[in-house]
Amino acid sequence: MRYVLIGAGPAGVVAAETLRKADPGGDILLLGDEPEPPYSRMALPYFLVGTIDEAGTYLRKSETHYDDLGITFRHARAVRIDPAGKTVALEGGESVAYDRLMIATGSRTQRPPIPGIDLPGVHPCWTLADSREIVRRAAPDSRVVLMGAGFIGCIVLESLIKRGVKPTVVEMADRMVPRMMNAAAGGLIKKWCATKGIEVLTSTKVTAIEDTGEARDPLRVLLDRGAPLRAALVVVATGVRPNIAFLEGSGIETDFGIRVDSHLKSSVDDVYAAGDVAQGPDFMGGWSVHAIQPTAVEHGRIAALNMADGNASYQGSLAMNVLDTAGLVSSSFGQWQGVESGESVERMDEARFRYTRLEFDGERLVGAICLGRTDQIGMLRGLIQSRVRLGDWKARLMEDPQRISEAYVASTHK
Protein backbone atom coordinates (compact mmCIF):
# COMPACT_ATOMS: atom_id res chain seq x y z
CA MET A 1 0.00 0.00 0.00
CA ARG A 2 1.31 3.44 -0.92
CA TYR A 3 0.36 6.24 1.45
CA VAL A 4 0.92 9.87 0.59
CA LEU A 5 0.55 12.52 3.30
CA ILE A 6 0.42 16.16 2.25
CA GLY A 7 1.57 18.40 5.07
CA ALA A 8 4.26 17.76 7.67
CA GLY A 9 2.74 19.41 10.72
CA PRO A 10 1.64 17.47 13.81
CA ALA A 11 -1.28 15.76 12.02
CA GLY A 12 0.89 14.55 9.12
CA VAL A 13 3.75 13.40 11.32
CA VAL A 14 1.54 11.55 13.81
CA ALA A 15 -0.31 9.97 10.88
CA ALA A 16 2.95 8.79 9.29
CA GLU A 17 4.10 7.26 12.58
CA THR A 18 0.73 5.62 13.16
CA LEU A 19 0.71 4.21 9.62
CA ARG A 20 4.12 2.70 10.17
CA LYS A 21 2.85 0.84 13.26
CA ALA A 22 -0.42 -0.20 11.65
CA ASP A 23 1.12 -1.25 8.34
CA PRO A 24 4.77 -2.23 8.80
CA GLY A 25 5.23 -2.93 5.08
CA GLY A 26 3.46 0.14 3.70
CA ASP A 27 5.18 2.75 1.59
CA ILE A 28 4.85 6.14 3.34
CA LEU A 29 5.61 9.46 1.66
CA LEU A 30 5.34 12.60 3.81
CA LEU A 31 5.38 15.91 1.92
CA GLY A 32 6.23 19.24 3.52
CA ASP A 33 6.40 22.54 1.61
CA GLU A 34 8.68 24.42 4.00
CA PRO A 35 12.47 24.01 3.85
CA GLU A 36 12.94 22.85 7.45
CA PRO A 37 12.39 19.42 8.98
CA PRO A 38 8.83 19.03 10.34
CA TYR A 39 8.44 21.55 13.14
CA SER A 40 5.81 22.85 15.48
CA ARG A 41 4.18 26.25 15.05
CA MET A 42 3.21 26.00 18.69
CA ALA A 43 6.89 26.22 19.59
CA LEU A 44 7.61 29.38 17.58
CA PRO A 45 6.85 31.83 20.41
CA TYR A 46 9.58 30.14 22.46
CA PHE A 47 11.98 30.42 19.54
CA LEU A 48 11.12 34.14 19.36
CA VAL A 49 12.09 34.58 22.99
CA GLY A 50 15.24 32.55 22.54
CA THR A 51 14.28 29.83 25.04
CA ILE A 52 14.95 27.32 22.28
CA ASP A 53 16.87 27.34 19.01
CA GLU A 54 15.35 26.31 15.69
CA ALA A 55 16.02 22.63 16.36
CA GLY A 56 14.00 23.01 19.55
CA THR A 57 10.89 23.59 17.42
CA TYR A 58 11.25 20.31 15.53
CA LEU A 59 8.42 17.88 16.10
CA ARG A 60 10.87 15.00 16.46
CA LYS A 61 14.35 15.53 17.76
CA SER A 62 16.31 12.70 16.17
CA GLU A 63 17.76 13.66 12.79
CA THR A 64 17.19 10.15 11.53
CA HIS A 65 13.68 9.77 12.99
CA TYR A 66 11.88 9.48 9.65
CA ASP A 67 14.55 7.30 8.05
CA ASP A 68 14.53 5.04 11.10
CA LEU A 69 10.80 4.48 10.65
CA GLY A 70 11.07 4.01 6.90
CA ILE A 71 9.08 7.19 6.28
CA THR A 72 10.15 9.15 3.21
CA PHE A 73 10.06 12.85 4.03
CA ARG A 74 10.26 15.13 1.02
CA HIS A 75 10.25 18.89 0.61
CA ALA A 76 7.57 19.42 -2.00
CA ARG A 77 4.38 21.37 -2.48
CA ALA A 78 1.23 19.72 -3.73
CA VAL A 79 -0.60 21.87 -6.26
CA ARG A 80 -3.44 19.61 -7.41
CA ILE A 81 -5.10 16.32 -6.61
CA ASP A 82 -6.60 13.99 -9.18
CA PRO A 83 -8.77 11.51 -7.28
CA ALA A 84 -9.73 9.63 -10.47
CA GLY A 85 -6.14 8.92 -11.43
CA LYS A 86 -5.09 8.76 -7.73
CA THR A 87 -2.21 11.14 -8.20
CA VAL A 88 -0.94 14.31 -6.56
CA ALA A 89 0.66 16.91 -8.80
CA LEU A 90 3.66 18.65 -7.26
CA GLU A 91 5.04 22.09 -7.95
CA GLY A 92 7.59 21.67 -10.72
CA GLY A 93 5.52 19.29 -12.78
CA GLU A 94 6.15 15.93 -11.17
CA SER A 95 3.26 13.84 -9.91
CA VAL A 96 3.15 11.06 -7.33
CA ALA A 97 0.70 8.18 -7.16
CA TYR A 98 -1.16 7.12 -4.03
CA ASP A 99 -3.38 4.30 -2.87
CA ARG A 100 -4.50 6.26 0.20
CA LEU A 101 -4.06 9.99 0.58
CA MET A 102 -4.13 12.26 3.61
CA ILE A 103 -4.51 16.00 3.28
CA ALA A 104 -3.03 17.71 6.32
CA THR A 105 -2.13 21.03 4.77
CA GLY A 106 -3.02 23.04 7.86
CA SER A 107 -4.04 26.64 7.71
CA ARG A 108 -2.59 29.92 6.59
CA THR A 109 -2.75 33.38 8.08
CA GLN A 110 -5.26 35.80 6.71
CA ARG A 111 -3.99 39.21 5.79
CA PRO A 112 -6.67 41.88 6.02
CA PRO A 113 -7.00 43.77 2.73
CA ILE A 114 -5.68 47.15 3.82
CA PRO A 115 -3.14 49.43 2.15
CA GLY A 116 0.42 48.66 3.19
CA ILE A 117 -0.23 45.10 4.38
CA ASP A 118 2.57 43.85 2.09
CA LEU A 119 5.20 46.37 3.18
CA PRO A 120 8.51 45.09 4.50
CA GLY A 121 8.24 44.89 8.27
CA VAL A 122 4.63 43.68 8.19
CA HIS A 123 4.62 39.99 9.06
CA PRO A 124 2.46 37.19 10.20
CA CYS A 125 4.01 34.94 12.84
CA TRP A 126 3.18 31.58 11.37
CA THR A 127 6.33 29.97 9.97
CA LEU A 128 9.96 29.64 11.02
CA ALA A 129 10.80 32.03 8.19
CA ASP A 130 8.37 34.62 9.64
CA SER A 131 9.86 34.10 13.08
CA ARG A 132 13.41 34.72 11.90
CA GLU A 133 12.28 37.99 10.35
CA ILE A 134 10.49 39.02 13.54
CA VAL A 135 13.59 38.23 15.59
CA ARG A 136 15.60 40.41 13.22
CA ARG A 137 13.24 43.38 13.48
CA ALA A 138 12.07 43.20 17.08
CA ALA A 139 15.10 44.88 18.62
CA PRO A 140 14.88 45.86 22.28
CA ASP A 141 13.05 49.18 22.77
CA SER A 142 11.68 49.19 19.24
CA ARG A 143 7.95 49.71 18.83
CA VAL A 144 5.82 46.82 17.63
CA VAL A 145 2.15 46.84 16.66
CA LEU A 146 0.28 43.59 16.99
CA MET A 147 -2.79 43.33 14.79
CA GLY A 148 -5.16 40.95 16.52
CA ALA A 149 -5.46 39.91 20.15
CA GLY A 150 -6.55 36.35 19.50
CA PHE A 151 -4.73 33.27 20.70
CA ILE A 152 -1.77 33.75 18.39
CA GLY A 153 -1.59 37.49 18.98
CA CYS A 154 -1.52 37.02 22.74
CA ILE A 155 1.09 34.29 22.72
CA VAL A 156 3.30 36.32 20.38
CA LEU A 157 2.77 39.31 22.66
CA GLU A 158 4.26 37.36 25.52
CA SER A 159 7.37 36.63 23.44
CA LEU A 160 7.72 40.20 22.21
CA ILE A 161 7.61 41.56 25.75
CA LYS A 162 10.34 39.17 26.76
CA ARG A 163 12.42 40.51 23.86
CA GLY A 164 12.11 43.97 25.39
CA VAL A 165 10.05 45.66 22.68
CA LYS A 166 7.29 48.19 23.31
CA PRO A 167 4.13 46.53 21.99
CA THR A 168 0.72 47.98 21.24
CA VAL A 169 -2.10 45.55 20.57
CA VAL A 170 -4.91 46.51 18.18
CA GLU A 171 -8.00 44.31 18.23
CA MET A 172 -11.10 44.79 16.12
CA ALA A 173 -13.44 43.00 18.53
CA ASP A 174 -14.65 44.49 21.79
CA ARG A 175 -12.35 42.29 23.88
CA MET A 176 -9.18 40.26 23.89
CA VAL A 177 -9.22 36.61 22.72
CA PRO A 178 -12.84 36.86 21.54
CA ARG A 179 -12.99 33.31 20.21
CA MET A 180 -11.73 31.78 23.44
CA MET A 181 -12.90 34.11 26.21
CA ASN A 182 -16.17 35.76 27.19
CA ALA A 183 -16.43 39.49 27.93
CA ALA A 184 -15.58 39.13 31.63
CA ALA A 185 -12.48 37.00 31.00
CA GLY A 186 -11.33 39.04 28.00
CA GLY A 187 -11.75 42.20 30.07
CA LEU A 188 -9.68 40.79 32.89
CA ILE A 189 -6.85 39.91 30.49
CA LYS A 190 -6.93 43.46 29.14
CA LYS A 191 -6.78 44.84 32.67
CA TRP A 192 -3.83 42.54 33.40
CA CYS A 193 -2.04 43.87 30.32
CA ALA A 194 -2.63 47.44 31.54
CA THR A 195 -0.93 46.62 34.86
CA LYS A 196 2.05 45.35 32.83
CA GLY A 197 2.24 48.59 30.86
CA ILE A 198 0.97 47.03 27.64
CA GLU A 199 -1.37 49.21 25.60
CA VAL A 200 -4.34 47.27 24.24
CA LEU A 201 -6.80 49.00 21.90
CA THR A 202 -10.00 47.01 21.53
CA SER A 203 -12.86 47.86 19.12
CA THR A 204 -10.17 49.42 16.95
CA LYS A 205 -9.24 48.70 13.33
CA VAL A 206 -6.00 49.23 11.50
CA THR A 207 -6.98 51.09 8.32
CA ALA A 208 -3.61 51.42 6.60
CA ILE A 209 0.12 51.04 7.10
CA GLU A 210 2.63 53.50 5.62
CA ASP A 211 6.40 53.57 5.33
CA THR A 212 7.79 56.91 6.52
CA GLY A 213 11.29 56.06 5.35
CA GLU A 214 12.69 57.13 8.71
CA ALA A 215 15.41 55.06 10.33
CA ARG A 216 13.73 54.42 13.65
CA ASP A 217 10.28 52.75 13.83
CA PRO A 218 9.68 53.53 10.13
CA LEU A 219 6.12 52.23 9.86
CA ARG A 220 3.10 54.40 10.57
CA VAL A 221 -0.03 52.46 11.47
CA LEU A 222 -3.30 54.32 10.89
CA LEU A 223 -6.32 53.46 13.00
CA ASP A 224 -10.04 54.06 12.58
CA ARG A 225 -9.94 56.00 15.83
CA GLY A 226 -7.16 57.72 17.74
CA ALA A 227 -3.68 58.79 16.73
CA PRO A 228 -1.53 56.71 14.36
CA LEU A 229 1.07 54.39 15.90
CA ARG A 230 4.73 54.10 14.93
CA ALA A 231 6.41 50.73 14.63
CA ALA A 232 9.54 48.94 13.49
CA LEU A 233 7.42 45.86 13.02
CA VAL A 234 3.74 45.04 12.57
CA VAL A 235 2.79 41.49 13.43
CA VAL A 236 -0.38 40.32 11.69
CA ALA A 237 -2.33 37.85 13.81
CA THR A 238 -5.84 38.36 12.51
CA GLY A 239 -6.80 34.73 12.18
CA VAL A 240 -6.10 31.68 10.06
CA ARG A 241 -8.02 29.80 7.38
CA PRO A 242 -7.70 26.19 6.18
CA ASN A 243 -5.42 25.65 3.18
CA ILE A 244 -7.98 24.30 0.73
CA ALA A 245 -7.61 26.53 -2.33
CA PHE A 246 -5.55 23.89 -4.19
CA LEU A 247 -8.46 21.44 -3.96
CA GLU A 248 -10.69 23.43 -6.29
CA GLY A 249 -11.96 21.22 -9.09
CA SER A 250 -10.84 18.01 -7.34
CA GLY A 251 -14.36 17.01 -6.36
CA ILE A 252 -13.35 16.83 -2.70
CA GLU A 253 -16.14 18.46 -0.72
CA THR A 254 -15.15 21.52 1.24
CA ASP A 255 -17.04 23.96 3.39
CA PHE A 256 -14.94 26.03 5.80
CA GLY A 257 -12.47 23.14 5.69
CA ILE A 258 -12.48 19.69 4.09
CA ARG A 259 -15.63 17.88 5.17
CA VAL A 260 -14.69 14.57 6.79
CA ASP A 261 -16.80 11.88 8.45
CA SER A 262 -16.17 10.24 11.82
CA HIS A 263 -13.46 8.12 10.15
CA LEU A 264 -11.78 11.32 8.94
CA LYS A 265 -12.52 10.33 5.37
CA SER A 266 -13.39 13.03 2.84
CA SER A 267 -16.24 12.86 0.34
CA VAL A 268 -13.89 11.05 -2.03
CA ASP A 269 -12.75 7.43 -1.64
CA ASP A 270 -9.25 6.86 -0.29
CA VAL A 271 -8.81 10.54 0.56
CA TYR A 272 -8.64 11.54 4.23
CA ALA A 273 -8.02 14.85 5.96
CA ALA A 274 -6.68 15.75 9.39
CA GLY A 275 -5.78 18.74 11.53
CA ASP A 276 -6.47 22.42 10.86
CA VAL A 277 -7.65 21.75 7.31
CA ALA A 278 -10.28 19.19 8.31
CA GLN A 279 -13.82 20.09 9.23
CA GLY A 280 -14.85 17.04 11.20
CA PRO A 281 -17.33 15.93 13.80
CA ASP A 282 -17.10 17.95 16.97
CA PHE A 283 -17.96 16.84 20.45
CA MET A 284 -21.32 18.63 20.43
CA GLY A 285 -22.63 16.84 17.37
CA GLY A 286 -21.72 19.53 14.85
CA TRP A 287 -18.97 19.92 12.26
CA SER A 288 -16.08 22.15 13.12
CA VAL A 289 -12.57 23.12 12.26
CA HIS A 290 -10.72 23.08 15.57
CA ALA A 291 -7.29 24.37 14.68
CA ILE A 292 -5.61 23.14 17.85
CA GLN A 293 -2.75 20.78 18.59
CA PRO A 294 -4.75 18.07 20.44
CA THR A 295 -7.26 17.81 17.58
CA ALA A 296 -4.46 17.64 15.00
CA VAL A 297 -2.80 14.67 16.68
CA GLU A 298 -6.09 12.87 17.36
CA HIS A 299 -7.15 13.39 13.74
CA GLY A 300 -3.76 12.22 12.49
CA ARG A 301 -3.86 9.04 14.52
CA ILE A 302 -7.44 8.07 13.78
CA ALA A 303 -7.28 8.89 10.08
CA ALA A 304 -4.10 6.82 9.76
CA LEU A 305 -5.65 3.82 11.49
CA ASN A 306 -8.52 3.95 9.01
CA MET A 307 -6.22 4.46 6.04
CA ALA A 308 -4.48 1.24 7.06
CA ASP A 309 -7.82 -0.63 6.88
CA GLY A 310 -8.60 -0.19 10.57
CA ASN A 311 -11.95 0.90 11.92
CA ALA A 312 -11.48 3.80 14.29
CA SER A 313 -14.28 6.23 14.87
CA TYR A 314 -13.74 9.71 16.24
CA GLN A 315 -15.93 10.89 19.09
CA GLY A 316 -15.49 14.46 17.94
CA SER A 317 -13.09 17.23 18.72
CA LEU A 318 -13.43 19.38 21.79
CA ALA A 319 -12.43 23.02 21.59
CA MET A 320 -9.78 23.77 24.18
CA ASN A 321 -7.02 26.28 24.56
CA VAL A 322 -4.54 27.36 27.15
CA LEU A 323 -2.85 30.70 26.82
CA ASP A 324 -0.23 32.67 28.70
CA THR A 325 -0.69 36.42 28.23
CA ALA A 326 2.25 38.19 29.80
CA GLY A 327 2.13 35.78 32.72
CA LEU A 328 -1.63 35.44 33.16
CA VAL A 329 -2.69 31.92 32.26
CA SER A 330 -6.15 31.45 30.80
CA SER A 331 -7.88 28.36 29.49
CA SER A 332 -11.22 27.55 27.95
CA PHE A 333 -12.96 24.32 27.09
CA GLY A 334 -15.94 23.11 25.09
CA GLN A 335 -19.11 25.18 25.07
CA TRP A 336 -17.71 28.02 27.16
CA GLN A 337 -20.39 30.30 25.65
CA GLY A 338 -23.02 28.10 27.26
CA VAL A 339 -25.86 26.14 25.74
CA GLU A 340 -29.52 26.90 25.33
CA SER A 341 -31.46 26.30 28.55
CA GLY A 342 -28.21 25.43 30.30
CA GLU A 343 -27.07 26.86 33.62
CA SER A 344 -23.88 28.62 34.49
CA VAL A 345 -21.93 29.87 37.46
CA GLU A 346 -19.01 32.23 37.66
CA ARG A 347 -16.64 33.67 40.25
CA MET A 348 -14.58 36.77 39.58
CA ASP A 349 -11.72 37.92 41.79
CA GLU A 350 -10.50 40.99 39.95
CA ALA A 351 -7.88 41.94 42.50
CA ARG A 352 -6.14 38.58 42.17
CA PHE A 353 -6.89 38.17 38.45
CA ARG A 354 -8.77 34.96 38.98
CA TYR A 355 -11.93 33.95 37.20
CA THR A 356 -13.81 30.70 36.82
CA ARG A 357 -16.93 30.09 34.80
CA LEU A 358 -18.64 26.76 34.35
CA GLU A 359 -21.42 25.94 31.89
CA PHE A 360 -23.77 23.06 32.52
CA ASP A 361 -26.32 21.20 30.45
CA GLY A 362 -28.47 19.49 33.05
CA GLU A 363 -26.19 17.48 35.31
CA ARG A 364 -23.25 17.63 32.93
CA LEU A 365 -20.44 20.10 32.51
CA VAL A 366 -20.24 21.25 28.89
CA GLY A 367 -17.88 24.21 29.00
CA ALA A 368 -15.51 26.19 31.18
CA ILE A 369 -13.24 29.22 31.35
CA CYS A 370 -10.44 29.60 33.89
CA LEU A 371 -8.11 32.52 34.51
CA GLY A 372 -5.24 32.62 36.96
CA ARG A 373 -5.37 28.93 37.63
CA THR A 374 -3.21 26.15 36.20
CA ASP A 375 -3.54 23.29 38.66
CA GLN A 376 -5.46 20.26 37.43
CA ILE A 377 -7.22 22.18 34.65
CA GLY A 378 -7.13 19.05 32.49
CA MET A 379 -9.91 17.70 34.69
CA LEU A 380 -12.22 20.17 32.96
CA ARG A 381 -11.60 18.28 29.75
CA GLY A 382 -12.12 15.03 31.65
CA LEU A 383 -15.46 16.17 33.08
CA ILE A 384 -16.74 17.44 29.73
CA GLN A 385 -15.49 14.60 27.57
CA SER A 386 -16.53 11.75 29.84
CA ARG A 387 -20.03 13.33 30.01
CA VAL A 388 -20.16 12.27 33.64
CA ARG A 389 -23.36 13.06 35.53
CA LEU A 390 -22.32 15.27 38.40
CA GLY A 391 -25.17 14.36 40.74
CA ASP A 392 -24.78 16.21 44.07
CA TRP A 393 -21.59 17.80 42.82
CA LYS A 394 -23.54 19.97 40.40
CA ALA A 395 -25.04 21.91 43.33
CA ARG A 396 -21.66 22.09 45.05
CA LEU A 397 -20.07 23.49 41.92
CA MET A 398 -22.89 26.00 41.51
CA GLU A 399 -22.06 27.10 45.06
CA ASP A 400 -18.29 27.10 44.55
CA PRO A 401 -17.05 26.57 40.98
CA GLN A 402 -13.45 26.37 42.19
CA ARG A 403 -14.04 22.83 43.46
CA ILE A 404 -13.39 21.35 40.03
CA SER A 405 -10.84 18.75 41.03
CA GLU A 406 -12.90 17.46 43.95
CA ALA A 407 -15.94 17.20 41.70
CA TYR A 408 -13.90 15.30 39.14
CA VAL A 409 -12.36 12.79 41.52
CA ALA A 410 -15.61 12.31 43.44
CA SER A 411 -17.59 11.74 40.24
CA THR A 412 -15.12 9.43 38.54
CA HIS A 413 -13.70 7.44 41.50
CA LYS A 414 -16.77 6.10 43.20
Partner 1 sequence: MLKSLHIDPGKCTLCMQCEMACSYENEGLFNPAKSRIKVFDFHDRFVPYTCTQCAEAWCMSACPVDAISVDHATGAKVVSDDLCVGCKVCTIACPFGTVNYNHDTGKVIKCDLCGGQPACAEACPTGAIAYVDSDWTGYDKMRRWAGKTDSGAAQAHA
Binding-site ranges for partner 1 (CB under 8 A) = 10, 14, 40-43, 45-46, 51-52, 56-61, 262, 293-294, 297-298, 301-302, 305, 310-315, 320-322, 324, 329, 331, 333, 374-382, 385-388, 405-406, 408-410, 412-413
Contact 292, 304 (CB under 8 A): no
Residue 19 or 231 having the CB closest to partner 1: 19
Residue 212 or 315 having the CB closest to partner 1: 315
Give Cα separations from 410 to 173, 380, 388 (angstroms).
40, 14, 11
- Least distance to partner 1 from the beta carbon of 309, Å? 10
- Least distance to partner 1 from the beta carbon of 93, Å? 34
| Long-range Cβ pairs for the range 150-153 (8 Å, 24+) | 150/177, 150/178, 150/179, 150/180, 150/237, 150/238, 150/239, 151/177, 151/179, 151/180, 151/321, 151/323, 152/125, 152/126, 152/237, 152/240, 153/235, 153/237
Residue 205 or 396 having the CB closest to partner 1: 396
- Least distance to partner 1 from the beta carbon of 170, Å? 25
- Least distance to partner 1 from the beta carbon of 293, Å? 5
> What is the CB neighbour count within 10 angstroms for residue 165?
22
Residue 195 or 376 having the CB closest to partner 1: 376
Contact 396, 403 (CB under 8 A): yes
- Least distance to partner 1 from the beta carbon of 156, Å? 13
- Least distance to partner 1 from the beta carbon of 372, Å? 11
Contact 42, 51 (CB under 8 A): no
Among candidate residues 34, 27, 154, 199, the one with its CA nearest the CA of residue 99: 27
CA count, 13 A, side-chain hemisphere, 55: 3
Residue 76 or 358 having the CB closest to partner 1: 358
Residue 18 or 238 having the CB closest to partner 1: 18
